Chain A
């Protein structure tokens, strides 16, 4: 009888990945065990058969088809930076840049107002001084030129008389202006240098081509892929980037999807409290989407939840779930949750850290006492239990008002303080294709 270890040794031998000691061990095994020898030879033969499969030529014209497709779909390469790539330093830089945006806009506005004022007064002044026919000088005619004459220099009738590059013949020479008597010519101040900015720039100003464009790609994976270690690792990293997430789970059947989700959550220690009306409408296939909110899970638990869900889903045919779409939560999710839950769960609030409460020299605050009393007197459920609440995401008119949902009350009672590593997450189980 060949043992499992011996089988491993044999397949590694077929793979050609044995150490000298293992190779010696395999040789000894093959000598002493005929059964192993037969199996080893068969495995070797199978491998040889795969190797001897004929090399097939790619279809003719494939290169051209690829190039045609590239031409049709991608006019130019765009630098794409994957979501998982930014480092902590990048984020700090981004935050620093974001802080300067209002100042940049204000500075540009001020510059614009200054330039406009200058242009206005400059035009007015010129029309008063030189009332004769004017040469159209375009933009340069409105802004003070570099060759502004000093007050002592006599005014030349021909604007271009002293220019290095005279105008073409199409521009008629300007007639001699009437002498400006009784009006003192004042020098306009030099304008500030004007540079096109990203956030605000003068119309017509040329912008250099972007050197870098960052595109954040949301996670979009089939649920079945969440059993793979690389997918789990990438998703875990993604969950560490933002304070809160929305994860859409596209299901063939919302009711079964919710059942599966509840069971998977239970297995990782998360109790899903399903609002009675939500359960009823979902069972009747009247719910298009169900929101499951929890702020008790840590990133690794969220990944584990999806893995368990994927494993359970794989046991049924056809599968209930299809794609998983995860994006950082935004103010839209915050608003939606506030409407559904009846209170703002504070998606983006930083959780309180334990360090603050370690200072024993400080007296207990009223909040701390309140939390202690609450934790001792709470009877509904176990305060240490991690919970989630499932509610309909339909308009207010067709769902239970938050105040009437017993499950929501229970969720609020159990919720407690958010742990420092916990990531608020909003699962949306929604009807997918099929």
Chain B
């Protein structure tokens, strides 16, 4: 963990909320990009990030500093995303949504560049749709590996599972994604 993170965490623990605000600013984009691949909508991703930072603040005392702050934060965000999906599942069935073709590609453009949804390429839309059909476990390892660029060891650390499990999950995830994309291509 960087010295600066350590300093900000220490200040936050001392009651300095501005210091925590700096940590939020530092990691929000990275966490948001990871979260948006785990949930269906940008609004949900924002909620996940917001709740994750709040939960992290409330349990900051338990953070021992042995791992990277982002690693710890990501774990919290992932659990938050899973809880959110579960809550939403009680009202909207994912299967029914898929059959109705309502799994839209993730359009975050409203926050970045208005109107950009129209410019999203067909390939990207297919990829987003395929990713959203993967199981959370598979999607998670792909996000950590390909988007976050983490090593097996780091992913295993975040998810708290053996490296062998990560290897096999990634293996299955890649093959499953290939099948989904192949179906779309056909």
Give me the interface of A with B, judged by CB distance under 8 Å.
Answer: 7-8, 11-12, 14-15, 17, 39, 42-43, 46-47, 49-51, 53-60, 62-63, 65-67, 69-71, 73-74, 76-82, 222, 224-225, 228-230, 233, 317, 433-434
- Determine if B21 is an interface residue (Cβ-Cβ < 8 Å): yes
Contact A63 B24 (CB under 8 A): yes
Task: Name the CB-closest residue of A to B43.
Answer: A59
Residues on A with C-beta less than 8 A from B104 are none
Partner of B54 from A51, A59, A60, A70 at Cβ < 8 Å: A70
What are 24 inter-chain pairs, A to B, with CB distance below 8 A? A7-B175, A8-B168, A14-B174, A17-B167, A39-B178, A46-B181, A50-B146, A53-B127, A55-B29, A56-B33, A56-B42, A58-B29, A59-B32, A62-B28, A62-B49, A62-B50, A65-B50, A67-B17, A70-B17, A73-B58, A76-B15, A77-B57, A230-B160, A434-B90
- Determine if B7 is an interface residue (Cβ-Cβ < 8 Å): no
Task: Name the CB-closest residue of B to A54.
Answer: B124
- Known: A17-B151, A53-B127. Is A11-B146 also a contact (CB below 8 A)? no
- Known: A8-B171, A11-B174, A50-B146. Is A66-B111 also a contact (CB below 8 A)? no
Question: Whole-angstrom distance from the CB of A58 to the nearest CB of chain B?
Answer: 4
Determine the main DSSP class of A at the interface with B: helix
How far, in whole Å, are A63 and B108 apart by their CA atoms in the complex?
Answer: 18
Question: Whole-angstrom distance from the CB of A310 to the nearest CB of chain B?
Answer: 13
Question: Whole-angstrom distance from the CB of A227 to the nearest CB of chain B?
Answer: 10
- Determine if B118 is an interface residue (Cβ-Cβ < 8 Å): no
- Known: A70-B17, A229-B161. Is A80-B59 also a contact (CB below 8 A)? yes
Residues on B with C-beta less than 8 A from A39 are 178
How far, in whole Å, are A58 and B34 apart by their CA atoms in the complex?
Answer: 11
Residues on A with C-beta less than 8 A from B83 are 222
- Known: A57-B112, A69-B54. Is A229-B160 also a contact (CB below 8 A)? yes
Partner of B57 from A12, A14, A65, A70 at Cβ < 8 Å: A70
Contact A70 B20 (CB under 8 A): yes
Determine the main DSSP class of B at the interface with A: helix
Task: Name the CB-closest residue of A to B147.
Answer: A50
Contact A66 B24 (CB under 8 A): yes
Contact A63 B29 (CB under 8 A): no
Task: Name the CB-closest residue of B to A70.
Answer: B57
Residues on B with C-beta less than 8 A from A51 are 146-147, 149
How far, in whole Å, are A7 and B57 apart by their CA atoms in the complex?
Answer: 42
How far, in whole Å, are A81 and B181 apart by their CA atoms in the complex?
Answer: 46
Question: Whole-angstrom distance from the CB of B167 to the nearest CB of chain A?
Answer: 7
Residues on A with C-beta less than 8 A from B59 are 80
- Determine if B159 is an interface residue (Cβ-Cβ < 8 Å): yes
How far, in whole Å, are A11 and B54 apart by their CA atoms in the complex?
Answer: 37
Question: Whole-angstrom distance from the CB of A139 to the nearest CB of chain B?
Answer: 33
How far, in whole Å, are A67 and B20 apart by their CA atoms in the complex?
Answer: 8
- Known: A50-B127, A50-B142. Is A63-B25 also a contact (CB below 8 A)? yes
- Determine if B36 is an interface residue (Cβ-Cβ < 8 Å): yes
Task: Name the CB-closest residue of B to A323.
Answer: B86
